[in-house]
């Protein structure tokens, strides 16, 4: 069974940093592209970042480029999101999601971890 | 990259059919057959319902179908059931520097 479990969320002050983790199991993690997607309270989904299976190709949403860094450790079956210079508008539930084998979709999602940026 | 446009809400009675639209541009929905749809119940993670415009993953009821015409895609739920009450979001690959975009989301209510 495919499982994605996020951790690392919490309350952080504006300008602060946080590192999210996503532990993957039930599939060959090193063969799949991965994403981070977020959802602000009461709002729609927003794509955040993508990393290919080897970690060599990375993309970011304009809203986080230069502040967030996606990475992965295939030996540990883990995906990460380093978030710096956090703003109030970064407050959201952050989901890690696997890219489907057919590409260009998100076929499995974690349960999400809440990040709250507030003083 | 602007979010794809969806109606805020759609409603229908049990057994009826409803259609949710997802409008983008020639740089996203209209330019690629990479539209997907997600169902999300309150407090839960999204679930993939349709990929590649009209393909259903294993386990998704055939009451759910997808289509595309020009810069707009649609999700149709036939034979609406109480458990279909949820939020639905579309997503598309785009030609922009940020290669994925979601829709604004639609709340489906079963009357």
* Backbone torsions φ then ψ of B71, nearest 5 degrees: -90, 10
Partner residue facing A110 (CB), from B1, B45, B102: B45
Q: Is the pLDDT of residue A113 over 80?
A: yes
Q: Is the pLDDT of residue B47 over 90?
A: yes
Closest-CA residue of chain A to B99: A59
Question: What distance in Å separates the CA atoms of residue B111 and residue B56, rounded to the nearest whole number?
Answer: 26
How close is the nearest chain B Cα to the Cα of A62, in Å? 7
Position B1 confidence tier, pLDDT thresholds 50, 70, 90: confident
CA separation, residue A72 to residues A56, B18, B41, B48, B97 (Å): 10, 41, 29, 23, 21
Q: Which residue has the tokens 């970042």?
A: A49
3 state SS of A29 = helix
- Check residue A101 and give its pLDDT: 82
* Average pLDDT of the residues of chain B: 97
- Check residue A103 and give its pLDDT: 86
CA separation, residue A59 to residues A21, A116, B93 (Å): 18, 24, 12
**Nearest to A114, CA basis, from B93, B45, B53:** B45
| Average pLDDT for B8-24 | 97
Partner residue facing A95 (CB), from B34, B45, B93: B45
**Nearest to A6, CA basis, from A28, A23, A26:** A23
Question: What distance in Å separates the CA atoms of residue B96 and residue B93, rounded to the nearest whole number?
Answer: 9
Q: Is the pLDDT of residue B49 over 80?
A: yes
Q: Is the pLDDT of residue A55 over 80?
A: yes
| Average pLDDT for A46-73 | 97
Q: Which residue has the tokens 């969320």?
A: A9
Q: Which residue has the tokens 């860094």?
A: A69
Q: Is the pLDDT of residue A102 over 90?
A: no
């Amino acid at each position: 069974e495919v499982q994605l479990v996020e951790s690392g969320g919490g309350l952080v002050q504006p300008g602060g940093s946080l590192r999210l983790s996503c532990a993957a199991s039930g599939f060959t993690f090193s063969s799949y592209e991965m994403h981070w997607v977020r959802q602000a309270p009461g709002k729609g989904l927003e794509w955040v970042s993508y990393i290919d299976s080897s970690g060599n190709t990375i993309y970011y949403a304009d809203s986080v480029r230069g502040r967030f860094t996606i990475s992965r450790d295939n030996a540990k079956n883990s995906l990460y999101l380093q978030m710096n210079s956090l703003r109030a508008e970064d407050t959201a539930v952050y989901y890690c999601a696997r890219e489907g084998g057919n590409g260009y979709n998100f076929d499995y999602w974690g349960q999400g971890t809440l990040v709250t940026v507030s003083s | 990259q602007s979010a794809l446009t969806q109606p805020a809400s759609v409603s229908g009675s049990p057994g009826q059919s409803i259609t949710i639209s997802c409008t983008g541009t020639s740089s996203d929905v209209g330019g690629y057959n990479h539209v997907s749809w997600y169902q999300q119940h309150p407090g839960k993670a999204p679930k993939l319902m349709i990929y590649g415009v009209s393909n259903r993953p294993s386990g998704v009821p055939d009451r759910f179908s997808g289509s595309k015409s020009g810069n707009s895609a649609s999700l149709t739920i036939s034979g609406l059931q109480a458990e279909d009450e949820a939020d639905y979001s579309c997503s598309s690959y785009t030609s922009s520097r940020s290669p994925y975009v979601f829709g604004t989301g639609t709340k489906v209510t079963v009357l």
